[in-house]
Amino acid sequence: MKPIDFLRRQTLVQEKLSTQDIDLLMIPPSINFFYLFEGYMQLSERLICGVIDKKDDSLLIAPSFEKENMQIQTTFDDVITWKEDEDPYTILKQEISYEPRRIALEPSTPFEVFSRIKKQFPTSEFVNGNSILNELRMIKNDAEMERMVQAAEHTAEGILKTLELIHEGQTELEILKLAQKQMTLLSGEMSWALVQIDDNSAVPHGKPSNKKLKKDSVILIDAGTSCEHYFADITVTSVHGTASDEFKKVYSIVEEANNAALEKSKAGVPAEEVDFAARVIIENAGYGQYFTHRLGHGLGLQVHEEPYIVKGNKEPLVAGNVHTDEPGIYLPDKFGVRIEDDVLVKEKSKRLVEFDRYLWK
């Protein structure tokens, strides 16, 4: 696979800082820390913080005993360290050679960290760094797309294998574990799944239970695995046996809505219009009240990220966006149908993976 160019990402952030008249971006451990510096680590009570300066090299501060870990895991060869009996925020302040006028913070920065940074820079204005980071993360390059396509392929294959292996009497929870296992065997990475049977499938994102699979049960599997931390998110709705006429009718409407959204999803089209394209199909078929959620969401290092494909989002899609296309019809006390694909936005958008979903008799 093509390597991820983390240093290029840092340079792009510097350019955005200059454009927005911001001096620094500070990033504690988070998804955005990984995006910029490669290291994938959890936030802790000890200060670890990356800093991108609009006019200087990036820097990283970490506990002294973590120095070697940081050098191995991140893009930094040089790490500023602090000892357990020292104040890391004072040391951070000492490493900034001037008084920054405006500082952007990674949006998930804990309040305690923010307040201690602010104490060191009392005259600085603090702003949300969300827009800087989202503008970059929303547009996937070729290296990122390689990973997302592989994640989607492993997800689809894992779901299909699960549907081959299930049998009557298994519970939603048992099938969930099976789906996770099948995907992880393929990807070698963290996998997740949601499994809902019969009337439970009529509750979007309902909690899996001990409900058992029966002959001719409707089964909905919403699942994903990752490739080097880039996620897929796919939903397959099927029947374990023979599909009823009502199921086939509802399925065909949802499938038409899914295809209509794919056709509408193009660079330059406002995100909400993609939602509308699917929704009008379902409404015209008389099932509008049963499509109860947005059409989709962005996808990447997180399963849910921008852009959100929902009414009110008038921002145009951009080539390189990846979003889900997941219309659904949920009939209370009967069953639900959701068909979810992952879509790469281009002049003519396309699914990351295509596969046969017609698995019932």
DSSP state of 28: -
Burial of 356 (0-12, 13-18, 19+ CB in 10 A): exposed
Given a cut of 90, whether residue 110 has pLDDT beyond it is: yes
CA distances from 197 to 108, 132, 328, 329, 337 (A): 36, 42, 15, 15, 11
Do 37 and 6 meet the contact criterion of CB atoms below 8 Å apart?
yes
Do 352 and 149 meet the contact criterion of CB atoms below 8 Å apart?
yes
Instruction: Quote the pTM value.
Output: 0.95
Amino acid at 149: V
Tell me, what's the pLDDT at 129?
96
Q: What digits encode the pLDDT tens for the residues 235-252? A: 999 999 999 999 999 999
Secondary element (H or E) of residue 10: helix 6-19
Burial of 124 (0-12, 13-18, 19+ CB in 10 A): middle
Mean pLDDT calculated for residue range 203-220: 96
Given a cut of 90, whether residue 256 has pLDDT beyond it is: yes
Say whether domain 6-137 belongs to CATH 3.30.70.141. no
Classify 160 as helix, strand or coil.
helix
Given a cut of 90, whether residue 361 has pLDDT beyond it is: no
Burial of 226 (0-12, 13-18, 19+ CB in 10 A): buried
Using alpha carbons, select from 109, 91, 116, 127 the residue that is nearest to residue 17: 127
Confidence of residue 209 (pLDDT cuts 50, 70, 90): very high
Neighbours of 167 (CB within 10 A): 9
Given a cut of 90, whether residue 52 has pLDDT beyond it is: yes
Portion of the chain with pLDDT greater than 70, in percent: 100
The residue with tokens 């879509």 is 343
Classify 16 as helix, strand or coil.
helix
Using alpha carbons, select from 137, 134, 352, 339 the residue that is nearest to residue 229: 137
Mean residue pLDDT across the chain: 97
Tell me, what's the pLDDT at 177?
98
Confidence of residue 174 (pLDDT cuts 50, 70, 90): very high
Given a cut of 90, whether residue 77 has pLDDT beyond it is: yes
Using alpha carbons, select from 63, 102, 103, 53 the residue that is nearest to residue 83: 63
Q: What digits encode the pLDDT tens for the residues 312-337? A: 999 999 999 999 999 999 999 999 99
Confidence of residue 42 (pLDDT cuts 50, 70, 90): confident
Enumerate residues 6+ apart whose C-beta is below 8 A from 235: 220, 221, 222, 223, 326, 338, 339, 340
Delimiting residues of CATH 3.90.230.10 domain(s) in the chain: 142-351
Q: What digits encode the pLDDT tens for the residues 15-32? A: 999 999 999 999 999 999
Q: How far apart are CA 283 and CA 290, in angstroms?
A: 9
CATH code for the domain defined by 142-351: 3.90.230.10
Burial of 349 (0-12, 13-18, 19+ CB in 10 A): buried
Neighbours of 64 (CB within 10 A): 12
Given a cut of 90, whether residue 347 has pLDDT beyond it is: yes
Delimiting residues of CATH 3.40.350.10 domain(s) in the chain: 6-137
